[in-house]
Amino acid sequence: MLGTALADTRVPNSKVSYNSDMVFIDEQSSTGGKTYVAFVCESYGVAFRLYSKNPLSTEKEFAKSSAMSIIAYADGEKLGYAQGSVRRDRQTGQLGVWETTGGLSSALYTAFIDADSSISVTALRNGYDPVTYRFPTKGLLTGLKAINYCR
């Protein structure tokens, strides 16, 4: 996966991988790990991040505000909107990372765990048309168990 350490472990027959403090799910049709979500264990709990191969904001919109929303769907059913912020990818410099923390991260974490087959995320990109990504959840519990569910 792009942006992950060489020590990542892939869960067999899945799009999930993990390392000591993160679990990643590659987007269904992404090659080379350019679009993925990450559950990151932080001192305060779990942070949720979307890494997109597509820009999530224009420079002009980003200069006004880093705030951006996503719409999450579990197995095709709308879960609702989530507010977070866009930041630059540390490797590419592109405005391609959306993140949220705290209670909202916990809600997304639970939604991914509870989904039978996949979560879809529609990024309501600032200055661009929305884009939807699909993340298969097979193997997620194995990855989370390997990092002790961020405890």
Average pLDDT over every residue of 49-62: 96
Mean pLDDT over each residue of the chain, to the nearest integer: 89
The larger pLDDT score, comparing residue 5 to residue 150, is at 150
Q: What is the pLDDT of residue 107?
A: 81
Instruction: Please list the alpha-helical segments (H only) found in the chain.
Output: 59-64, 102-114, 140-146
Q: Which fold has domain 9-150?
A: Immunoglobulin-like (2.60.40)
Q: What are phi and psi of 85, to 5 degrees?
A: -135, 150
**Are 78 and 133 within 8 A, CB to CB?**
no
pLDDT tens track for 63-121? 999 999 999 999 999 988 889 999 999 999 999 999 987 667 778 888 888 999 999 99
Both tokens of residue 14? Answer: 């899945």
Average pLDDT over every residue of 124-137: 96
| Domain range summary for the chain, segments of one domain joined by + | 9-150
pLDDT exceeds cutoff 80 at 6: no
